[in-house]
Chains A and B, each alone.
Chain A
Amino acid sequence: MSISAGEVRHVAELARMALSDHEVEELSAQLSRILDHMETLRELPTDDVEPTAHVLPIRNVWRQDTVGESLPPDAALANAPERRGNYFLVPKIVER
């Protein structure tokens, strides 16, 4: 099973990764090999196996609805690329 350069570019775009032509070529070969391996796995009979939603056999973990302490704004904003007052400042988000 092969994955095309176009598909690699599409996935890279979705992941916001800039790839050189060389990397696209390299990755499409690597990803194809991974998919080949999946094809091999697919040969196993799994008709009677429930899809796995989680690897741990644990269910129903939750917390009660109580409010705890939030971060002080300076801590929350400590890693912000830039801030204005208590807001994170990011490059202009453009619609359309």
Chain B
Amino acid sequence: MRYEMVVGLEVHIELSTESKMFCDCSAKFGGEANTHVCPVCLGMPGVLPVPNKKAIDYAMRASLALNCQIAPFTKFDRKNYHYPDMPKDYQISQYDKPIGSNGYVVIRTDKGDRRIGIRRLHMEEDTGKSLHEGVAAGSLLDFNRAGVPLIEIVSEPDIRTAEEARLYLQKIRTIMLYTGVSDVKMEEGSMRCDANISLRPEGSSEFGTLVEIKNMNSFRSVQRALEYEAARQQSVLESGGRIVRETRHWDEGRGVTFSSRSKEEAHDYRYFPDPDLVPLEINQEWVDEVRRALPELPDQRFRRYVEEYNLPAYDARVLVEDLALAGFFDEAVAAGANPKAASNWIMVDLQGLLKGEGKSISEVKIKPSHLTQLIDLIEKATISGKIAKDVLVEVCFTGKDPESVVKEKGLVQITDESALIKAAEEVLAANPGPVEDYRKGKKNAIGFLVGQLMKATRGKANPGLANDILRKLLDGSV
């Protein structure tokens, strides 16, 4: 029997606010242990949590960017469970009235566009961090992260392959980057993912028994963990066994999932409305205000690049997925660059250079206006495309504008016929073989001669002019 996986993902994202969700401690990542803590986030008795307005606005912005509806009435609830990294013994979260619901994102798969539903988006607070390694006496706790604002985005079980799971996560990440609500760094834990996975016979509409997978620390580990878990469940089913509803942890090193928390303990959270926090009423005016502040989102930008600038879909996607690169492109175009030329330069030469140097666009000195100027120099035939590649490298490292580089290095293209004729004559004299071939009718031998002439002028000859002059000399019409 062929099986298909049914996957839903729960994504936690830390919001980039200055202060925590319910107190005014710093929400900054890191810091010396237990220096961003106060009675509220340490869960001391008698304290009063007060929500961070910006975190609420960010949760709304994220909801709208994911096509969610905003709840006109929402509230905070206590999720009760014991864990040492959570000092209150409950987490403030949202249970039955999440701030956002019924959204979706579109991912692009080999089989075309797929819409993945978003069931809900709710606000909550992060837990502290525990350290176990290398400590014999016990575990160490740092509560700097406790109370940092989080949103949890819960997808519908619409994902059918491990690849789709990865694409979905990448899409969520890109959208969050665009909205600016989070820096979404998986390596720093500001974006985290748990998965719910079950198997069912292909074509069936029933759902199998669900297993939750935790501890996946990269897009790749999500993909690997789902592939592993689907294979494990399939072999259990094929040998006549039954899937146990449980939570399993992904072991990156061994490449396996293993059973963790016992099921009686899990999912018995006894939620109730937090009496310390009053409900939120969100009117249309507030929603509209947040919506107006939404920046252009990845899908809109993609459409603009393809429809207005006629960029190939692949190029548009590469640009859109890199916020800094897309911003660079937009600025170059705004400064007057031809969009297609700008995209080509960014996609090929600039990306190649950045990859080679292991740097991001903000770490090299080229500015968008430099690219515009470079393209202009080519279009005006001041320099050849080949020379422009060298100029680009120079600009990236020195931050000088292309015109100055061209002037300083004497790279201006030779467009003066008389200056080229002498060099062309020398090339012909030095290459009797190809000259003979050409004259015997092998007209494409001229390609080699043009190359030699370009070399002799160190790339400064205008290639079209070089071609013309050689042809005229060879045909004896000069």
Contacts and interface: CB of A to CB of B under 8 A. Distances in A.
Nearest to B54: A65
A61 to B, nearest CB: 5
Contacts of A85: 33
**Chain B binding surface, main DSSP class:** loop
A90 B35 contact: no
Interface string B437-477: 00000000000000000000000000000000000000000
A18 interface: no
B278 A96 contact: no
A93 B19 contact: no
Contacts of A87: 33-34, 131, 140-142
Interface residues of A, number: 37
B23 to A, nearest CB: 8
A91 B138 contact: yes
A10 interface: yes
A95 B139 CA distance: 12
A71 B17 contact: no
Given A53-B273, A65-B53, A65-B55, A86 B33 contact: yes
Given A54-B75, A67-B24, A92 B138 contact: yes
Contacts of A84: 135, 137, 140
Nearest to B25: A70
A68 B22 CA distance: 12
B52 to A, nearest CB: 5
A54 B73 CA distance: 12
Nearest to B48: A61
Nearest to B44: A79
Given A87-B141, A88-B141, A70 B279 contact: no
B260 A96 contact: yes
A43 B50 CA distance: 37
A54 B132 contact: no
Interface in A37-96: 53-56, 58-71, 73, 76-77, 82, 84-93, 95-96
A84 B18 CA distance: 28
B281 A89 contact: no
B260 A67 contact: no
Contacts of B34: 73, 76-77, 86-88
Contact of B275 (A55, A60, A62): A55
Interface string B41-60: 01000000011111110000
A60 B278 contact: yes
A89 B270 contact: no
Q: Which of A54, A55, A70, A96 has the most CB of B within 10 A?
A: A70
A86 B35 contact: yes
B32 A92 contact: no
Nearest to B142: A87
A85 B141 CA distance: 11
Contacts of A53: 73, 75, 97, 273, 279
A22 interface: no
B280 A14 contact: no
A81 to B, nearest CB: 10
Nearest to A86: B33
Contacts of B56: 62
Given A14-B270, A93-B130, A93-B139, A59 B33 contact: no
A76 B37 contact: yes
A67 B244 CA distance: 46
Given A71-B38, A84-B140, A66 B18 contact: yes
Contacts of A91: 138-139
B238 interface: no
Contacts of A82: 137-138
Contacts of A86: 32-35, 142
B38 A67 contact: no
A50 B62 CA distance: 29
A64 B132 contact: no
Interface string B264-302: 110010100101011111000000000000000000000
Given A59-B278, A71-B39, 13 more contacts: A58-B278, A61-B277, A62-B51, A65-B19, A65-B53, A65-B54, A77-B34, A84-B135, A87-B142, A88-B34, A89-B137, A89-B140, A96-B260
21 contacts: A53-B75, A53-B279, A54-B273, A54-B277, A54-B279, A55-B275, A59-B279, A59-B281, A61-B50, A61-B51, A65-B18, A67-B18, A73-B32, A88-B34, A89-B140, A89-B141, A91-B139, A92-B139, A95-B249, A96-B249, A96-B260
Interface of A: 10, 14, 16, 53-56, 58-71, 73, 76-77, 82, 84-93, 95-96
Interface of B: 17-19, 24-26, 32-39, 42, 50-56, 73, 75, 80, 82-85, 97, 130-132, 135, 137-143, 249, 258-261, 264-265, 268, 270, 273, 275, 277-281
